[in-house]
Structure 1
Amino acid sequence: MSQVWMVTGSSRGLGRQIATAALSAGHSVVVTARNLDRLADLEESHGNRVFPVHLDVTDPVAAQRAVERATDRFGTLDDSMTMLPVSTPYQQVIGAVANRLVNDNGNQTGDPQRAAAAIVRIAQMPEPPERLILGSDALAYAQNAAGVDPF
């Protein structure tokens, strides 16, 4: 069944891979970015199933307008994948982890294309899991947090 997705940060990285995977699965996608020129190829390749919307996710008013434009265009949103920057209050809570995420942005290990494909498959499940662990570093962190010896 075709869904309508909204993916922020669609111009590059994991956001781009999620948008591409959702389009490849036959879904319609509201793609957002600060620079719409970086989304032109998606619109050219997928026609009216792509709706590019300018969005800086740090602006809550703009985010609300983007959602309104998306629902005006497609009538609904089934899934939303938000690649948000780390906010100041959250930065104070998680400190070093947030800094690592920001500093490693675009240089993470792993395969964003495979991660995106997994996210799209899971979103189509009738009862998707509440959590998704992607990558050996995330698995090791989860095992450590749960007190599980990985060996």
Structure 2
Amino acid sequence: MADGDPDMIESADEDVDVVLQTTRPAPVVIKGIGNITMFGLTNRFDNDFPPSLIGKVAKEEFNATIDLVNNLIGRAVPRSARWLVAGCLCCCCTAGFSLSPVVYLNKKTQSRIRGVLEAENNRVYQKLGFSWWLEKQKCPASNLKEYVILIETLERLDIHRPD
């Protein structure tokens, strides 16, 4: 075997990836608990403090972030619901194009939530070793998908260990 054997390099990289994946804890999942869900996005996320974050994140910071997201969604969902009703009424006449404002508003709300989470990550959570993001996951009871907030622990570099 030669030193530059590409198969050996790939297998060594795969071994390192497996080790990194096993040392990282599972992300905390915050599900939507609202009573209205449009295109997988619920109108409210659960603000119960997860026990796995005790001692790592302040409960006040957690609640402030969830409240920011819930306020953003709370303003966007009623507007989207009105457009959905109007779009459904005109759907036959417009061949479905009247539903496009609802799809646009939903994507805009998702991008705003991602922006809020990114700002909170930069402000607080990356310093604490966490990263928040919005992700679409399959519902366990059906084939539908819903948006959840994932809180992942970032890998910390050991700067005291030599290269």
Bigger radius of gyration? 2
TM-score range, shorter chain: under 0.3
Q: Please, what TM-score do these two structures have when normalized by structure 2?
A: 0.24
